[in-house]
Structure formats: structure tokens, C-alpha cells
């Protein structure tokens, strides 16, 4: 990665590019961007998020449920990861990276190897003999690994997390990057001494997730949702973002800021949560996170014990916390897009500004010179900018800029050359502000 950056940067800008810390991808002159906008999405692509992301040059469809993240798309994905990573680190998370290849024996211990029990496994044969699975989740391997690092109460608690490409043999993959057969998840696993220690951490994860959704721009439409619990607890908690593109149905109590998944929407559950049936509304939503308590069930299956202060063996209390990183990108694309194209929140946009120079006849050279100055000045200040320096008609450039969805468009044309004033258009609401270059940084 670094080696690659080095040779790219040497010829273009100084090695100490101030933007290197701010953006994942350094290339910002649109004339050199290999991904191009397209008028049409592939015919077999039915989801709106993938149609728009493909047309705008963010992703490329390899096959149903498998998409390439192109430079612009990768930058968005990395920006989402950065926010999630900061929130996980803030509550004590330690990042690691597990393997994709998984051992059959391990998953047999928890009775999750069988295709009848888990219906999304991809599996293969080793040339050397024996079967392997491809990671659709990592609870089993990380918990087994932790046995090497957990001996006494002094070694706990541990909160480990990763960003992984999960592989799942999903039956249907018609929701674009919202349901991939290959997708990026952040998964965290907690190892605590006691139920109290576990619960304190579990609640801090809820708070961290809610902060992350706020920062991603979807806080006001993302709700903590009570869902089916599984082996140990009555409920698990999902985070559901309201969108018609979602595959779930939830019942929302806006005043109480919570939702109940249709799966568990019963009189008994309503009573338990103190929710009135008349106060809820039925909405479609996408599950963007899901967190579970496993208690000591999994630890007992996988033999994860620690010695307490009295020297007695105790099972470790386990929690698991998933966050759908690539699904989140698809959901954000869906909920903010308008008839012209994508609209990115500033926190994850590949670039804050889309600088567009217009053709100018006699003034063309002056316009180019001014646009170059704006570009270099913003870059030097560490502001991210995509520079549409292509020789195209204004209409084409504006249409592309709308489709690609940077938060602000800076237009440099004849007028700017005359009075030094730049037109800054807000992609979300179309409002126009007139600014001097100094005011932009
Ligand atoms: P779903 O019910 O949507 O199939 P799940 O409950 O099987 O999801 P988890 O195992 O809880 O998913 O995974 C954690 C998170 O990963 C989910 O909350 C979701 O945001 C994301 N996720 C799950 N499956 C996919 C997928 N096929 N493509 C993209 N993201 C996914
Ligand atoms: Mg789930």
C-alpha cells in the first residue's frame, strides 16, 4: 500500500501531502480517475443503491452479491470504517484481523458446521485433505483463540474487534451492497468476568453505536430495536435504519426512541417493554447492526474459562457485536439520494468539494488558472476536493457532479474570473453561496 502511494505521489505532489491523513485515495483530478460515470446501470441490477453507485463510478458489479469498491467507493467505505473504529477504540476495543479460513472441528463443537444449522456456509476442500469453511462469522475462532490469552481474572476483560470481509452463501442477493455474498462487517467480541461487567460494556456498545450512526448522518432514523435473542437472552438488540429499501419490518415507538422487530412483536413483549400498541407505527427498515449476549453458553461449549481471585475456574461471559459497514454505505446511498443522484453526508463523502471548472471561450485559460489555484490552495490546507478538470460542456459536468454527490460544488466560470467570487452549491438543498477562496478553508 505504502509502496504504491509513494510512486503515485512523487510525480504529482510533495511526499508530505497533507491530505494523506485525511483521505484514503489521493488521486483527485477527475481527468485521471479511471472510473467513469455511466448513463445506465447493468440491466440485471434492480436495487437503487447499486444502480446509483455503479452509474456514479463508486462500485463495479462482479456478479450478484459481489461488488468491487472503486477508488471513490473505497474512500466512502474507509470513511465509515474510520468512524466505527474511533468509536470502538473509545470504549476500549483492540483491533485485530482474524483469518477467513475456518476449521471444521471448531464449528462442530458448537454444532454450527452442519448446513442444516447454518445455511450460508461457503466450504471447500483442502488439496492436502480435509474440509475448510470460509468465515461468515468469527465467534468460534476468536473465542477459541482467546483461550491462549485468558488464564486468570487479571487477563480480563478483553474487547477485540476487526473489520472483515464475510462470505455468506445468501440465497437472494437483489439488494445491491445492502446484501452481499461478500461484504464488510465490523465484528467485536467481549470477554468479561461477570454478568455485571458484561452488561456495563454491552451498554457502552449501544451508546457507541448510536454515536456512530449520528456521525454517519442517520442518527435520527436509526433505532435500537428489540429482536429475537437466541440461546442466552430473551432479546438481542438490532439497530434498524428506516428505509423502504430495507428487508425488515419494525414497529417504532418514536417517543420512546425504540423499535420492536416484527419477529418478536407480541402482546407479551409490548407489555414487558411498556409500549402501547396504539403508539407504534409499522415501518420498513434495514438492519445495520446486531448485538448479542451469549452469557456463558458459548464459553462452556468452547472451553473458555478463567481462574477467579479464589483460584476457582469460571466460564467467561461473552458478547458479540456486529456492524454492517458495507450495508451501511448502501443504506446511506438509498436514504439521501434524490432524482439527480447520490448525496453524501460530509462525514463520509469521498471529498468535501467537487470543484468544477466551466468552459469559457476567450477566458478558458484564465478559468483554468483560477480553478488550478483553488484546487492547490484547498489541497494545501488539507481540504478534500475532487477537481473536474475535464474539457466538457457545463451541463454534462453538472449532471455528473449531481450524480456523484459531493456535499458542495464549487463552480469556477467567467464570472469568477471577473470578480474573484466562487459559487458554492450545497448538493443537499441546492442553496448557493458566493464566497472568496479564503472563506472556503
Ligand atoms: P440479515 O438478517 O440481514 O441477514 P444477520 O442477522 O444474518 O443479517 P448478523 O450476523 O447479525 O446479520 O451480522 C451483523 C451485521 O452485518 C448485520 O446487522 C448487517 O448489518 C450486516 N450484514 C449481515 N448480512 C449481510 C449481507 N449479506 N450483506 C451485507 N451486510 C450484511
Ligand atoms: Mg442480525
Please report the pLDDT score of residue 292 as a whole number.
Answer: 95
Q: Are residues 98 and 223 in the same domain?
A: yes
CA torsion angle for 219, 220, 224, 226 (degrees, to 10)?
-150
Q: Are residues 189 and 216 in the same domain?
A: yes
Q: Are residues 294 and 359 in the same domain?
A: no
Of all protein residues, the one whose alpha carbon is nearest to atom 22 of ligand 1 is 324
Please report the pLDDT score of residue 160 as a whole number.
Answer: 98
Q: What is the CATH number of the domain that holds 430?
A: 3.40.50.800
Q: Are residues 62 and 209 in the same domain?
A: yes
Please report the pLDDT score of residue 27 as a whole number.
Answer: 62
Range of the domain at 290: 48-336
37 lies in some domain: no
Q: Are 133 and 100 in contact (CB under 8 A)?
A: no
14 lies in some domain: no
- Among 323, 327, 332, name the best residue to mutate to test ligand 1's pocket (greatest count of ligand atoms within 8 A of Cβ): 327
Distance from residue 283's CA to the centre of ligand 1 (Å): 19
Last residue of some domain: 336, 366, 384?
A: 336
Of all protein residues, the one whose alpha carbon is nearest to atom 18 of ligand 1 is 289
- Cell 452481499 belongs to 180
Q: Are residues 288 and 411 in the same domain?
A: no
Distance from residue 155's CA to the centre of ligand 1 (Å): 31
57 lies in some domain: yes
Q: Are residues 323 and 383 in the same domain?
A: no
User: In sequence order, which residues have a C-beta less than 8 Å from that of residue 379 and are 6 or more positions away?
Assistant: 13, 17, 18, 19, 28, 385
Q: Are residues 308 and 418 in the same domain?
A: no
Please report the pLDDT score of residue 441 as a whole number.
Answer: 76
399 lies in some domain: yes
Distance from residue 288's CA to the centre of ligand 2 (Å): 8
- Cell 434495514 belongs to 286
CA torsion angle for 209, 211, 216, 220 (degrees, to 10)?
100
Q: DSSP 3-state assignment of 248?
A: strand
CA–CA gap between residue 406 and residue 278 (Å, rounded): 41
Whether ligand 1 lies within 6 angstroms of the CB of 260 is answered as: no
Please report the pLDDT score of residue 13 as a whole number.
Answer: 43
Of all protein residues, the one whose alpha carbon is nearest to atom 8 of ligand 1 is 287
Q: pLDDT tens for the chain, 441 residues: list them.
A: 344 444 444 444 444 544 444 455 556 899 999 999 999 999 999 999 999 999 999 999 999 999 999 999 999 999 999 999 999 999 999 999 999 999 999 999 999 999 999 999 999 999 999 999 999 999 999 999 999 999 999 999 999 999 999 999 999 999 999 999 999 999 999 999 999 999 999 999 999 999 999 999 999 999 999 999 876 788 999 999 999 999 999 999 999 999 999 999 999 999 999 999 999 999 999 999 999 999 999 999 999 999 999 999 999 999 999 999 999 999 999 999 999 999 999 999 999 999 999 998 899 999 999 999 999 999 888 889 999 999 999 999 999 999 999 999 999 999 999 998 999 999 999 999 999 999 987
Of all protein residues, the one whose alpha carbon is nearest to atom 2 of ligand 1 is 287
25 lies in some domain: no
41 lies in some domain: no
Spell out where 229-332 has E strands.
Answer: 235-242, 248-253, 258-261, 281-295, 305-307, 313-315, 317-324
Q: Are residues 132 and 208 in the same domain?
A: yes
Of all protein residues, the one whose alpha carbon is nearest to atom 3 of ligand 1 is 287
Q: What is the CATH number of the domain that holds 57?
A: 3.30.930.10
- The per-residue pLDDT for range 286-345, each reduced to its tens digit, is 999 999 999 999 999 999 999 999 999 999 999 999 999 999 999 999 999 999 999 999
Burial letters for 275-306: b for 16+ Cβ neighbours within 10 Å, e otherwise? beeeebeebebbbbbbbbbbbbbbbebbebbb
Last residue of some domain: 336, 363, 393?
A: 336
Domain count, the chain: 2
26 lies in some domain: no
- The per-residue pLDDT for range 183-193, each reduced to its tens digit, is 999 999 999 99
Distance from residue 307's CA to the centre of ligand 1 (Å): 35
Q: Are residues 358 and 332 in the same domain?
A: no
Please report the pLDDT score of residue 10 as a whole number.
Answer: 41
Q: Are residues 312 and 409 in the same domain?
A: no
Whether ligand 1 lies within 6 angstroms of the CB of 248 is answered as: no
18 lies in some domain: no
Whether ligand 1 lies within 6 angstroms of the CB of 64 is answered as: no
Q: Are residues 284 and 356 in the same domain?
A: no
Distance from residue 236's CA to the centre of ligand 2 (Å): 9
Whether ligand 1 lies within 6 angstroms of the CB of 166 is answered as: no
Q: Is the dihedral of CA 202, 208, 209, 214 positive or negative?
A: positive
Amino acid at each position: 500500500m505504502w509502496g504504491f502511494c509513494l510512486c503515485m505521489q512523487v510525480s504529482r505532489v510533495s511526499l508530505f501531502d497533507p491530505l494523506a491523513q485525511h483521505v484514503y485515495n489521493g488521486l483527485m483530478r477527475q481527468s485521471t480517475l479511471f472510473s467513469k460515470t455511466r448513463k445506465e446501470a447493468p440491466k440485471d441490477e434492480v436495487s437503487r443503491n447499486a444502480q446509483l453507485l455503479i452509474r456514479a463510478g463508486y462500485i463495479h458489479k462482479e456478479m450478484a452479491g459481489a461488488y468491487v469498491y472503486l477508488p471513490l467507493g473505497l474512500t466512502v467505505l474507509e470513511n465509515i470504517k474510520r468512524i466505527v473504529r474511533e468509536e470502538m477504540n473509545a470504549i476500549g476495543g483492540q483491533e485485530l484481523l482474524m483469518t477467513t479460513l475456518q476449521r471444521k472441528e471448531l464449528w462442530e463443537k458448537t454444532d454450527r458446521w452442519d448446513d442444516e444449522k447454518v445455511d450460508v456456509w461457503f466450504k471447500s476442500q483442502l488439496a492436502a485433505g480435509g474440509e475448510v469453511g470460509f468465515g461468515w462469522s468469527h465467534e468460534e475462532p476468536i473465542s477459541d483463540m482467546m483461550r491462549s490469552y485468558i488464564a486468570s481474572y487479571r487477563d480480563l476483560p478483553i474487547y477485540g474487534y476487526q473489520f472483515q470481509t464475510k462470505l455468506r452463501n445468501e440465497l437472494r442477493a437483489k439488494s445491491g451492497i445492502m446484501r452481499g455474498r461478500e461484504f464488510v462487517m465490523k465484528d467485536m467480541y467481549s470477554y468479561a468476568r461477570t454478568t455485571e461487567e458484561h452488561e456495563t460494556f454491552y451498554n457502552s456498545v449501544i451508546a457507541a453505536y448510536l454515536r456512530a450512526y449520528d456521525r454517519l448522518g442517520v442518527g435520527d432514523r436509526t433505532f435500537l430495536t428489540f429482536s429475537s435473542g437466541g440461546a442466552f437472552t430473551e432479546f438481542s438488540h438490532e439497530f434498524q435504519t428506516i428505509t423502504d429499501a430495507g428487508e425488515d419490518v419494525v414497529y417504532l415507538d418514536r417517543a420512546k426512541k425504540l423499535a420492536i422487530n416484527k419477529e418478536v412483536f407480541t402482546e407479551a413483549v409490548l407489555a414487558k417493554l411498556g409500549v402501547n400498541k396504539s403508539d407504534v407505527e409499522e415501518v420498513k427498515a434495514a438492519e445495520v447492526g446486531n448485538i448479542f449476549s451469549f452469557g456463558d453458553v458459548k464459553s462452556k461449549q468452547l472451553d473458555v474459562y478463567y481462574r477467579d481471585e479464589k483460584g476457582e475456574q469460571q466460564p467467561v461471559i461473552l458478547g458479540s457485536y456486529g456492524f454492517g459497514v458495507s450495508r451501511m454505505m448502501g443504506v446511506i446511498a438509498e436514504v439521501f439520494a434524490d432524482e439527480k443522484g447520490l448525496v453524501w453526508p460530509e462525514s463520509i463523502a469521498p471529498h468535501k468539494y467537487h470543484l468544477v471548472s466551466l468552459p469559457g471561450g476567450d477566458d478558458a485559460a484564465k478559468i483554468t488558472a483560477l480553478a488550478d489555484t483553488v484546487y492547490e490552495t484547498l489541497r494545501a490546507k488539507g481540504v478534500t476536493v475532487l477537481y473536474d478538470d475535464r474539457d466538457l460542456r457545463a451541463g454534462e459536468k453538472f449532471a455528473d457532479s449531481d450524480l456523484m454527490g459531493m456535499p458542495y460544488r464549487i463552480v469556477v466560470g467567467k464570472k469568477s474570473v471577473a470578480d474573484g467570487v466562487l459559487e458554492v452549491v450545497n448538493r443537499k438543498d441546492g442553496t448557493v453561496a458566493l464566497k472568496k477562496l479564503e472563506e472556503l478553508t
